[in-house]
Amino acid sequence: MTLEETGVIMDIFKATYPQFYKGQPDKERLKATALWASMFADDDFAVVAAAVKAFIATDEKGYPPFIGIIKNKISKMKSPRTSAR
């Protein structure tokens, strides 16, 4: 995922969790975006976006996810459990 694509993900978080990002300085936002970009550099944007949307769809706490939560969602999406017979 590129830095620009990561910016799109961060915009999704900002739209979904506006109170969390309210008043956040641009410098902090840029640092967070760079960190997420580096952590997801080897991941496809569409896969990360799907994992983020899956997290948001089931979020009951109202806080944006940590990187590890999205990494875990991606892992589960790539290796879905087979149903028991």
Write the pLDDT tens digit of every residue in 2-31: 999 999 999 999 999 999 999 999 999 999
Token pair belonging to 29: 């936002």
Question: Residue 84: which pLDDT band, with cuts at 50, 70 and 90?
Answer: low
Q: Give Dmax (Cα) for the chain.
A: 53
Q: Which amino acid, residue 22?
A: K
Indicate the domain borders of the chain. 3-78
Q: Could you tell me the CA-to-CA distances from 85 to 22, 81, 82 in Å, in that order?
A: 49, 12, 9
Token pair belonging to 72: 């875990």
Q: Read out DSSP for 13-61?
A: HHHH-HHHHTT--HHHHHHHHHHHHHHTTTS-HHHHHHHHHHHHHH--S
